[in-house]
Amino acid sequence: MPQFRLPAEWEPQDAVLLTWPHGDSDWAPLLDEVIPLYEGLVTVIADYADLIIVVPEQELDAIQSRLEAMNVPMDSVHLRPAPSNDTWARDHGPLTVLEGERPVLLDFQFNGWGGKFAHDLDNGITERLHRDGAFPEVALERQDWVLEGGSIEVDGRGTLLTTEVCLLNENRNPGLSREAIEMRLKEAFRVRKVNWLKHGHLEGDDTDSHIDTLARLCPNNVIAYVQCDDPEDSHYAELKAMEAELALMTDADGEPYQLVPLPWPGAVHSDDGRRLPATYANFLIINGAVLVPQYDCPSDEQALEQVMQAFPGYHIFGIPCSVLIEQGGSLHCITMQLPEGVLYDPA
């Protein structure tokens, strides 16, 4: 049986996958704000890795011209025309495992976070990209069960972190028990231990408590996690309970974690008064850099300092994400890393 391993996000990457926002998605009323964010994000990522960007076919030339005008190094940017419902590449993109040094793309089913949103086009993006040659000479294995990239964290050394609220939700894989799902996780990613969080949620979150909004595995057995320090906030008790769970966890080798708390941004609301799931945990790790969401909050600077503690020696960037959180997600949600070997031979 192949010995696949899902590498940690801080291991070497060839590229980052993005899916471009467009007028036929929920971004329609926010395009003037979100497209400049994507353009700026491309300029930052291109300093550290290639990009594969899924774009509407009719907009390919216009997007290319705009990026060229911004002096983006286009030899590092691969525009791929494909239809999409939305932009959450973390959840509709492939999870890339390594068999030795050979990458294999696992194409899990995406059902719009339990049927909440249209997802038929997004669910076909990975297969379309593979068919069109976006991943040269890399095999693709289609999976028959639902799993989103934002719902799991791995350390690349045998440990996986996830939440019960998401993975055990009947709207994902009805009929599969916790034991059955854990067995599938261990088989797919060759992890030896699955750590399940019972607690943790953010109001306004459509993902049913994705782990990448709550707690992130970091190098050197560190977990960076969302800490609520306001007893009057509706999240306080639940996030305190999550913090207590994390404090008792160990990795696959029985080693405890060092916990690095991320500040609480407070209540962030949309223009129409909705509470938004703003979280500093939704950062992107890429080849020696960490891109951290910023929400125009007093706690933004502290968030950068705390992430710096979790990633000593990394370049830390703040990326304005107020427009992203309007649609319920942030930096990690709109990106998917592609490990070394997907585009280029590591030799």
42 inside domain: yes
DSSP string, 299-334: THHHHHHHHHHHSTTSEEEEEE-HHHHTTT--TTTT
Mean pLDDT of 188-208: 97
179 inside domain: yes
In the DSSP assignment, the letter for residue 256 is: B
- The residue type found at 191 is V
Cβ pair 337, 286 in contact under 8 A: yes
Find the CATH number of the domain harbouring 249.
3.75.10.10
C-beta atoms surrounding 43 within 10 Å: 13
270 inside domain: yes
303 inside domain: yes
Quickly state the pLDDT bin for 347 (edges 50, 70, 90).
low
Give the dihedral sign, CA 31/36/39/41. Answer: negative
Q: How many residues does the chain have?
A: 347
> CA of 255: how far to CAs of 2, 50, 157, 220, 247, in Å?
27, 35, 12, 11, 12
Give the rounded distance of the alpha carbon of 114 from its chain centre. 17
Cβ pair 227, 263 in contact under 8 A: yes
346 inside domain: no
The residue ranges of DSSP E strands in 12-111, in sequence order, are 13-19, 50-55, 77-81, 95-99, 102-109
347 inside domain: no
37 inside domain: yes
In the DSSP assignment, the letter for residue 336 is: E
Quickly state the pLDDT bin for 1 (edges 50, 70, 90).
very low
Burial 317-343 (b: 16+ CB within 10 A, else e): bbbebbbbbbbbbbbbbbbbbbbbbbb
> CA of 206: how far to CAs of 55, 140, 197, in Å?
24, 28, 18
In the DSSP assignment, the letter for residue 233 is: S
If one compares 272 and 88, the residue with the highest pLDDT of the two is 88
DSSP string, 93-143: SPEEEEETTEEEEEEEE--HHHHTS--TTGGGHHHHHHHTTSSTT-EEEEE
SS3 152: strand
> CA of 109: how far to CAs of 124, 183, 202, in Å?
9, 17, 24
SS3 14: strand
* pTM assigned to the model: 0.97
Mean pLDDT of 50-69: 98
Mean pLDDT of 127-131: 98
Give the dihedral sign, CA 228/234/237/238. Answer: negative
pLDDT digits (tens, 9 = 90+) for 5-53: 999 999 999 999 999 999 999 999 999 999 999 999 999 999 999 999 9
Count of domains for the chain: 1
Q: Which segment of 85-94, 144-153, 270-279 scores lowest on mean pLDDT?
A: 270-279
344 inside domain: no
Distance CA 331, CA 335 (A): 7
Q: By residue range, what is the domain housing residue 94?
A: 4-339
What pLDDT was estimated at residue 3?
74
- Given 166, 218, 321, 333, which residue is catalytic? 333
SS3 290: strand
The answer to whether 321 is a known catalytic residue is no
